[in-house]
Amino acid sequence: MKKTLVAAVAISLSTFALTSCGSDDAASGSDGSDDVKITMGFAQVGAESGWRTANTKSIQESAADAGIDLKFTDAQGKQENQIQAIRSYIQQKVDVIAFSPVVETGFDAVLQEAKAANIPVILTDRAVDADPSLYKTFLGSDFVVEGEKAGQWLVDNAKDSDVNGDGTINVVQLEGTTGAAPAIDRAEGFADKIKADDSIEVTASQTGDFTRDGGKQVMESFLQSDDSIDVVFAHNDDMGLGAIEAIEAAGLEPGKDIKIITIDAVKDGMTALSEGKINYIVECNPLLGPQLMDLAQQVIDGEEVPARVLTEESAFDQAQAKDVLADRQY
C-alpha cells in the first residue's frame, strides 16, 4: 500500500498497526484516499542561538514538506517544560516523539512512559544518559569530534596563538549550558587534543549558556581578572560573538590580540570569521529536518534504523569562510 504523508490530526500507533495490516478504514483519509496520517510531537530546547533558530526552521519546514502534522513546543531552556511537553504528546497519542534534550539526565521516567504507550522516541542534536532501549535512534553531531577539531587546530597553530609571547598559551573556555551534551563533549574533545602541547592550558572555564549575552558577560569577567589571555574557545558561535563584543569594548582586537575558536558555523559566525574576528570555526549542522522526517517514517513503518545517525560537517578558516559565505543556508 502506498503511504504518502499528509498533514492531519494525531492517530495512535495501534491505529497505524491496523493500517499496516491492511485495514481499509484506517488507511483511508477523510476524502477516501489511501493516505496515512502521521503526527510528530517535537519538544525543542528553546531559541537560545542562531543555530537553534535554524534548527527549528529546518524541522518545521521539513515536516510541512513531508506532510507530517507537527506539534511543536519551545521548552525555553527548561527541562521541566520539555518533560511536560513530552507527557502532553503521550496523552495526545502522537505517532512519534522527537526532542533535543535540554540536559543529558533526568528523562528516564518520561521515556519509560512513552515506551509503555508504544510511542517511539527519536533524539535529535543532543543525547541523553538513559537506557538506549527507551529511544529508537539519536540523530546529530559527534560533539566530542567537534571539540577535537577545535583542539587540533590550536595545537597545529600554537606558535601563532602565543599572542603574549611568554611561551605559554592561556586559553579561556566559554562553556555551553551546564549538563548539556554539547558542553560536556566539546570540552572533553578539546581537552584531549591540547594534551599534545604542554604550552597550552585552559586557565578559566565558565558557562555562557550558549547565548550571546552570556558569552559577553563571562568574557568581560575573564578580561577583568586576567590580562594575559591568548585564546578563547567558545562552545558555540553566539558565545564567541558575545566575546568579540567584550574584547572590542576592552580596546582589544578580536582575532589578533586574542585568538577565537568557535563551533557551529552559523552565518553571523562565518561573517565574523571572514572578517578575521574569529580564527577558526568547527561546523555543527543544524539542518536536521529532512533526516529527522525520513527516520520518523522508517520508525513508523517498523523498519530497523541505526542507533546513531551522524550529520555531515566540516570546519573553516578565514579563506574558506569567504568562499562559502554567500551560499550559506544558515
Model confidence at 210: pLDDT above 60: yes
CA dist 182 to 13, 25, 69, 102, 269, Å? 32, 45, 29, 10, 18
Question: pLDDT value at position 35?
Answer: 58
Mean pLDDT value across residues 163-183? 95
Question: pLDDT value at position 22?
Answer: 30
Percentage with pLDDT > 70 across the chain: 89
Rounded to the nearest integer, the mean pLDDT of the chain is 90
pTM of structure: 0.81
Q: If 0-12 CB within 10 Å is exposed, 13-18 middle and 19+ buried, where does residue 119 land?
A: buried
Mean pLDDT value across residues 272-299? 97
162 vs 8: CA distance, rounded Å: 58
Confidence of residue 6 (pLDDT cuts 50, 70, 90): very low
Mean pLDDT value across residues 244-263? 98
19 vs 226: CA distance, rounded Å: 65
Model confidence at 211: pLDDT above 80: yes
SS3 content of the chain, % helix, strand, coil (to 5): 45, 20, 35
Mean pLDDT value across residues 146-172? 96
322 vs 273: CA distance, rounded Å: 8
Q: Give CA angle at 84 (80, 88), nearest 5°.
A: 170
pLDDT tens readout for residues 53-96: 999 999 999 999 999 999 999 999 999 999 999 999 999 999 99
Locus of grid cell 558555540:
236
pLDDT tens readout for residues 23-59: 333 333 333 334 568 999 999 999 988 899 999 999 9
pLDDT tens readout for residues 264-278: 999 999 999 999 999
pLDDT tens readout for residues 123-134: 999 999 999 999
Confidence of residue 5 (pLDDT cuts 50, 70, 90): very low
